[in-house]
Amino acid sequence: MMTGISVFPSPATAPGTDATVVGENLSLPLFRSLSGVLAGHPYLKVVVDRTEHTWHLLDTAVHPFHVNYVATRILGMGLDELDARLDVFNASVYTDPGRRFLLGVLSLHADEDTEGRDRPFLVLETTEADTMDGPLLQEFYDFVRERVDGRLPLLLKPANHGQEAALAPVSDVTLPRILSHELFVSRPRTPLNTGEATGRLRWFASLEEYRAHAADLGWSDIVAMDCLPDDVPRVAGFINAAPITPLSHTNVLASGWGIPNAIVRDMARLVESEELDGAWVCYRVQDDEVSLVRLHEVPELDEPAWHQQRIRLEPPLLEDIPVLELRRLRREDRDRYGTKAANLGELHHVLDSRTADLTAFYGRARPPRKDLYGHLASRLAASADPEALRQAASEFVAATVTAPDGVALPFALQHRFLISSPALQQGIGKLKMALELGATDVLDPLCLSLQQLVRGTPVPEDVAARITGPFADRVGRKRLVVRSSSNAEDLPGFSAAGVYDSITTVHGTDELLDAVRQVWASLVSPRSVRLRHEAGISLDDTYMGVIVQEYTPAELGGVLVTRNPTRREDFRNVYINCTPGSPESVVDGTALPLQYLYNTVEGGGRTVDLGSSVEDLPSPARARLADLALTGRLLQSHFADDPDDPDDPLDIEWLMTEEGGFKLVQLRPYAL
């Protein structure tokens, strides 16, 4: 039986009986008696009835949906009747300018007063798809303000970019407000990847302290520090004391490994006050809660399931095949050129042929709706006829994004390079022997020695000619980008995000050959070898293809995932991170990106976090990101690993060119 003290406990749950209140003023005790928890904060649903000039304070435990309450409790409809006309009913309460009902949520937050004491305040917001204009938002706020305890400050939070624009001319004196990103950065704890772990908490106050003890970390440790490094080993859980993005390499690893990860801003204080460093704890991250419970005794733990994990690769095809332009590849070429190259080739095919059905995600039943074709038709301003919609989707995607030109080097070239050198063959043999014998203490020096040998071994003349040939007229004049494309990444249960090298500043023949060898060498880095060995991936079956492209200057770059990574049941939203310039700064954590959520069903978007930026992107740029989000959702229908499951999310790296167009530089499954 585990016992302990909850370091950050969850609020009490709401009572089970229906305590919904109509017409009463709202005090803090009444709020607490009716509220639930959302994103770590107590919240309460409210319905304003403009016709009756009253409001309803819903018991959250009993009424999870505004619409159900309005239809059944106020209008006397049955649920079957509501389901039959749900979209029409939603339009009547969320988008009709003459609507009878104003639906929203009050959430409870706290800041500090001048003496350091918590000061509670309420935030009012609508649903993300609500289209209230400025006057209606002002009416909503005034109605609620009049009925809330005057000692509680009340702020309105615009729910989407449209509401922000509608409120721009409205004084914040008459309508006090707070933006989503301002509220987000004040959150003391932010779930990043859900999960539960029991283990020993290891706190590192600096990267130097972490480096000094990293070799001692084991599978039962929970690592806590300001920002975890990308080369963190596989452990039981992550805790970040400083802000990071859910699309960082470390969170992608946490997602792929199925371990809990969260931002806990006051972790340093908790470690000191509760003496947590080295303590055994139960750590749980849920969609709306982060909890950490100290254990009074050392638990008995079973070895993790991944210790027995075995991922089998399809044997790579190593026959002598040519270097090909990316546009000539298809997805089935992944066993010759690697997943990244094959997916880019497939993207060229989708954009050029415009024959792929990109609507499958919207064709799936979302009860009580039989499909979402009507919503997609609204987003595309197209007919809801399935055939016309498929054509409109293809045209929209082709008009929004392009695929990068470049060439793909097959596994066969790396194989020919490796067998050309007896020293390389000897080094590989030593590494294989150490893996077979479980001699993990010598893995790192063997890997580092082999990497150095790969980088220093001359490339055979015929192999070198095939690498540099496609760029003979451009080498020396054009900046090139060299990217990895292995067969041992983007696999179910093994993402390898950030594990293999990419080089973005290549000039001239010598640098091109050096960059290709560096990418090849990353296949035997200590970290990549250890991670693959843990997953049961044989070194014999692992090969590296390479992508070579001309560098494209970017005004904006980033990563898009066709999922809300912190709320996985949310099928509406697409999550976008971006920074000025290259997307690499987003995924490698060197810059905190701008973060956005875009609703690809009802429409609308909102800014989640400004990251390192001092201001948000201008409205035209955010509107372009909405087009990119919808494009990512449509491509998901084609690139899902399981053709029968178009909900499999995609992870897309992209950049916006100086001309304002989008170029997709990588597509892969998003690690779940």
* C-alpha closest to that of 598 among 558, 648, 561: 561
Higher-pLDDT residue of 476 and 190 is 190
pLDDT in tens, 445-489: 999 999 999 999 999 999 999 999 888 776 667 899 999 999 988
Q: Is 435 helix (H, G, I), strand (E, B) or coil?
A: helix
Band of pLDDT at residue 4, cut at 50, 70 and 90: very low
Band of pLDDT at residue 440, cut at 50, 70 and 90: confident
Segment 166-186 mean pLDDT: 91
CA separation for the pair 46, 16 (Å, rounded) = 18
pLDDT in tens, 476-531: 678 999 999 999 887 777 777 778 999 999 999 999 999 999 999 999 999 999 88
The DSSP 8-state label assigned to residue 338 in this structure reads -
* C-alpha closest to that of 203 among 253, 275, 136: 275
Spell out the domains of the chain, with CATH numbers in brackets: 4-178 (no CATH), 189-306 (3.50.30.10), 355-404+553-669 (3.30.470.20), 407-544 (3.30.1490.20)
Q: Is 655 helix (H, G, I), strand (E, B) or coil?
A: strand
Q: Is the pLDDT confidence value at 368 over 60?
A: yes
Q: Is the pLDDT confidence value at 316 over 80?
A: yes
* C-alpha closest to that of 101 among 122, 73, 59: 73
Helices 339-353 and 386-400 pack at an angle, to 10 degrees, of: 120
> SS3 sequence, 382-396?
CCCCHHHHHHHHHHH
pLDDT in tens, 20-42: 999 999 999 999 999 998 777 89
Q: Which residue has the tokens 């995600």?
A: 361
Query: How many residues make up the chain in this entry?
Result: 672
pLDDT in tens, 638-663: 998 776 778 889 999 999 988 889 99
Q: Is the pLDDT confidence value at 235 over 70?
A: yes
pLDDT in tens, 591-608: 789 999 999 999 999 999
Band of pLDDT at residue 637, cut at 50, 70 and 90: very high
Alpha helices in 176-330 (DSSP H): 180-184, 207-213, 249-257, 267-274
Average pLDDT of the chain, as a whole number: 90
State residue 608's pLDDT score.
93
Band of pLDDT at residue 3, cut at 50, 70 and 90: very low
* C-alpha closest to that of 558 among 511, 595, 513, 608: 595
Band of pLDDT at residue 401, cut at 50, 70 and 90: very high
State residue 7's pLDDT score.
47
Q: Are 137 and 163 in contact (CB under 8 A)?
A: yes
Alpha carbon distances (Å) from 16 to 20, 106, 422, 608:
11, 20, 73, 33
Q: Is the pLDDT confidence value at 9 over 70?
A: no
Q: Which residue has the tokens 């963190």?
A: 232
Alpha carbon 245 to chain centroid, angstroms: 8
State residue 567's pLDDT score.
82
